[in-house]
Amino acid sequence: MATNRNTVLLLRFCIILAGIIICFFLFQKGLFYTAVFLFFIVFLLMLELFSAIKNMFLFYDKTIQAILNNDFSADFSKHASFENYKTLFKLYDSLKVKQNEHVSKDLVYRSILNNIETGVLILEKENEDWGIFLMNDYFSNHFQVPKVSKWHYLKNQLPSLCTIIEERDFQEIKTSLQISINKQASQTFILQASKTKTFDREYYIILLDSIQKVIEKKEKEAWINLMKVISHELMNSITPIRSLTQNLNELMQQEDLSKEDLEDIRQSVTTIIHRSDHLQNFVESYRKLAMLPTPNKETIDLEPLLENTLQVMAPLFKKGNISVKNTIESNRRIKADKLQIEQVLINLLTNSIYALEDRNEKEIEIICEEKNARTFITISDSGMGVDPAIEEKIFLPFFTTRIEGAGIGLTLSKNIIEAHGGYLSHSTENGRTSFTICLL
């Protein structure tokens, strides 16, 4: 049965108090020897009470120190009978469970970080300096640095990385940089860094990805998407052709053909021709993308090129009741393949016409400007814009939202501009969608 230590302590205190009172009473009665003997017994009881209280406080102090030091290895089973320690044991056990959960989660998180093929480095601010909170295995192995604990140690190993972070004052970064590993040729990495603060602790998270790995991932995704589109288009044509061919074969097995049979044959042949034409057009579109000729660059005036393009598109503008605002000046010149750039302009203007079909305000604006020795040609419209859900897909081969679209216009345009050493981008701002051609 559990003993209530508080009751025992109170009883001891009452006995000591009673003994002191009796001692005073005996002194008053002149019983000095009896009083001295009783006082000696009371003194021993006081020493025993002091020792019991001291041990109790030492036990509390030891337990609290263990909690503060995250030491949950103690076993209190032999003290389980002490009722006054019950709340302390409950607190200890509760914190022990939470500590075990925290350690388990920490092991899982570290295991995840150590198994991803991205360099992860987490810094923790200590006073005014930064310490290394975590460095995953990929970072340590790939950059051939030991898992050091201080920032200045890492700086001695990877000065190119640490210098750029210090120059940005440990602020948010998203850039590329060259890192030389073990005095070998420099490699290009994508650097992303951000700062976060929690519970008065400041952390700086650094992610490093090999640009080759990023490119390979994008290429793989592009190939997967391309194969999905190609297989979809092929199956859309091959399946009905095969079905109709089987039907024709069954009809031809008959000795006599009725008018209905002949009509079925005629419709089947017409459908096969239609699907074959579609399949041929699809293959031709693919060839256009795969066999893009090298640009024949020459210095050309941009204004006549654009005027000629607008003249070709004029009937479509008139039909759609679209106003075109051209602000390109006559002194603008570019070095490019005239026919290929004209094809890009036609593709972008055609997209704008489609985007303006259901709009009340139908306006296309073409502007040109030069920045950092580069020419930027922007075609913007007041159309419905690009749905954010498909923004990443608009440059994929054969991806289209148009019923009659082939899905190669933007892809072909992007490939042409990149073959010129530039890039094609798009943006939506203030209700206007813009496609910008950048040329060197």
Contact 433, 385 (CB under 8 A): yes
CA 429 – CA 440 distance, rounded (Å): 25
The sign of the torsion formed by the CA atoms of 344, 349, 352, 357 equals negative
- Of the listed ranges 31-35, 107-111, 387-391, 413-417, the one predicted with least confidence: 387-391
User: 6-27, pLDDT tens digit by residue?
Assistant: 677 678 778 888 888 888 887 8
Contacts of residue 275, Cβ cutoff 8 Å, sequence gap at least 6: 236, 237, 240, 241
When the pLDDT of each residue in the chain is averaged and rounded to a whole number, the result is 79
Question: pLDDT tens digits for 231-281?
Answer: 766 676 677 777 778 777 777 777 777 777 778 788 878 877 877 776 776
Q: Look-up: residue for tokens 């930064």?
A: 130
Cα-based angle 356, 358, 364 (whole degrees, multiple of 5): 15
What confidence tier does 182 reach under pLDDT thresholds 50, 70, 90? low
Strand-pairing partners, residue 201, are: 198
pLDDT for res 186: 63
Q: Kindly write down the DSSP assignment for every residue of 295-340, as one continuous string.
A: P--EEEEHHHHHHHHHHHHHHHHHHTT-EEEE---TT-EEEE-HHH
What does the pLDDT average to over 20-38?
A: 80
Q: 2 pLDDT band (50/70/90 cuts)?
A: very low
In this predicted model, which residue has the larger pLDDT, 201 or 244?
201
Q: Report which secondary-structure segment, H or E, holds 82.
A: none
Mean pLDDT of 308-318: 84
CATH number of the domain at 298-439, please?
A: 3.30.565.10
Q: What is the pLDDT of residues 68-100, one digit of tens each?
A: 777 777 766 666 556 667 777 777 778 888 888
Confidence of residue 342 (pLDDT cuts 50, 70, 90): confident
CATH of 113-213, one of 3.30.420.40, 3.40.47.10, 3.30.565.10, 3.30.450.20: 3.30.450.20
- Tokens at 411, concatenated: 């892809």
Residue 197 scores a pLDDT above 80: yes
Place of tokens 């073990």: 182
**pLDDT tens track for 372-421:** 778 899 998 887 777 666 666 677 666 666 655 556 678 778 888 888 88
pTM of the model: 0.43
Structure confidence at residue 204 (pLDDT): 92
Question: Where exactly are the structural domains of the chain?
Answer: 5-83, 113-213, 227-290, 298-439
Banded model confidence at residue 200, pLDDT cuts 50, 70, 90: confident
